[in-house]
Amino acid sequence: MSSLLNYHHLYFFWVVMNTGTIKDASIRLNLAKSTISAQLSSLEKTIGGKLFKRVGRNLEPTDLGHMVYGYADKIFTIGQEMLNCVHNMPSKKQLSLKVGIVDVVPKLLTRKFLFPAMKLSEDIRLVCQEGKEDSLLSELSVHNLDVVFTDAPIRSGLSVKAYSHLLIECGVSFFGKKEFVASLKERFPYSLDRAPMLLPMTNTALRGRLDQWFEKLNILPQIIGEFDDSALLKVFGQCGDGIFVGPQVIEKEIQQQYEVQIIGRSNEIIERFYAISIERIIKHPAIVAITKAAKQDLFAFGVGDQLSY
């Protein structure tokens, strides 16, 4: 009995077992029946036993044949799985960009940030993960993410060594359904007193600025709901449950997607958005494209434009 297994011989045996006969195997493999028979004989010599027995005019597997087939089936099934995985892997030319998105960052704004990266000459494999800031920064620190989009610079005292890159700053717009616009637009912003408001959670940067602004103007809105997901907040606004705010740089997109209108704008309330990376000087081509576009022509206006009161 030989100690070396010829996997070509084993494969021919596996095909014979799957097709049922040497004749059918020869058709599938496009080989002569005599060639396959010879391969089976060589395999039997290697194993040291008979794989088939003749029953009338037919060949049936022996107990040894059944056992060998069990192993062969596992071998070639795993082999096919390996090929499938290899074929589905990204090509070496494909550039991976793993992005963490803090849940307070508007989805429409995230798409705008990522657009320049998706237009690079390299093929981009984009992986987006949404979550809380602390969790995403932890993933960034162990290189499971390339960048994190958030609405505040990285806090001092964190164990994560990372750097904040300002992408954009702008004023906010107040949105609502048509019935709110008719009654609130004329006396804006003082018309917001006792008006139904949909607000981000109190632990967010935007909520802090809104509360300060309301207090400064002696405005006390009726808080209908507080949300940690900016998209969910806007869905409630779309349904007419209250008024909400959004960055001026995407006000057209917000109006179109959520079927709302602008009640007014404020540039005293500033929204800032950052890309957090573990690199002080960004080298990842996709992140370079994002930061460059954000600073140049992605958003043509910012603080100081479209002041409405």
Q: Determine contact, residues 230/107, Cβ cutoff 8 Å.
A: yes
pLDDT band at 93 (very low <50, low <70, confident <90, very high): low
Rounded percentage of the chain residues whose pLDDT exceeds 70? 92
pLDDT band at 31 (very low <50, low <70, confident <90, very high): confident
Residue with tokens 């060639």: 35
CB count, 10 Å around CB of 164? 16
Q: What is the mean pLDDT of the chain?
A: 86
Q: What is the mean pLDDT of residues 221-241?
A: 93
Highest average pLDDT, of 65-69, 90-94, 261-265, 298-302, comes from 261-265
Considering the chain, tell me which residue range(s) the CATH 3.40.190.10 domain(s) occupy: 95-167+274-295, 170-271
In DSSP notation, 60-104 reads: EE-HHHHHHHHHHHHHHHHHHHHHHHHHHSPPTTPEEEEEEEETT
- State the fold for domain 170-271: D-Maltodextrin-Binding Protein; domain 2 (3.40.190)
User: Strand 147-150 relative to strand 95-102: parallel, antiparallel, unpaired?
Assistant: parallel
Considering the chain, tell me which residue range(s) the CATH 1.10.10.10 domain(s) occupy: 7-88
**What's the pLDDT at 33?**
87
Instruction: Reply yes or no: is the peptide bond before residue 285 cis, omega within 30 of 0.
Output: no
In DSSP notation, 207-232 reads: HHHHHHHHHHTT---EEEEEES-HHH
Residue 176 pLDDT greater than 80, yes or no: yes
Residue 121 pLDDT greater than 60, yes or no: yes
For 279-306, what is each residue's pLDDT tens digit?
A: 888 888 889 999 888 877 544 444 333 3
Q: Which two tokens stand for residue 273?
A: 């958005």
pLDDT band at 90 (very low <50, low <70, confident <90, very high): low
CATH architecture designation of domain 7-88:
Orthogonal Bundle (1.10)
For 72-88, what is each residue's pLDDT tens digit?
A: 889 988 888 888 777 76
Between residues 96 and 3, which one has the greater pLDDT? 96
**Domain spanning 95-167+274-295: which CATH class is it, in words?**
alpha beta
**What's the pLDDT at 59?**
82
Q: If you ran DSSP here, which 8-state letter would residue 154 be given?
A: P
Residue with tokens 């290899």: 86
**What's the pLDDT at 91?**
56
H/E stretch holding 5 reads none
Residue 173 pLDDT greater than 80, yes or no: yes
Residue 239 pLDDT greater than 90, yes or no: yes
Task: Give the span between the Cα atoms of 207 and 199, in whole angstroms.
Answer: 7
Residue 94 pLDDT greater than 90, yes or no: no
**What's the pLDDT at 308?**
43
Name residues whose C-beta falls within 8 Å of residue 299's C-beta, 6 or more positions apart in sequence: 112, 168, 170, 249
- For residue 267, which of 212, 304, 213 has the smallest C-alpha distance? 304
Q: Map residue 115 onto helix, strand or coil.
A: helix
**What's the pLDDT at 305?**
38
Specify the pTM: 0.64
Alpha-helical runs (H) found in the chain = 7-19, 22-29, 33-47, 63-88, 107-118, 133-141, 178-184, 205-216, 230-238, 251-258, 285-295
**What's the pLDDT at 306?**
39
Q: Map residue 266 onto helix, strand or coil.
A: strand
Q: What is the mean pLDDT of residues 113-123?
A: 86
Residue 203 pLDDT greater than 90, yes or no: no
Q: Which two tokens stand for residue 182?
A: 């008719």
User: Strand 95-102 relative to strand 124-131: parallel, antiparallel, unpaired?
Assistant: parallel
**What's the pLDDT at 92?**
57
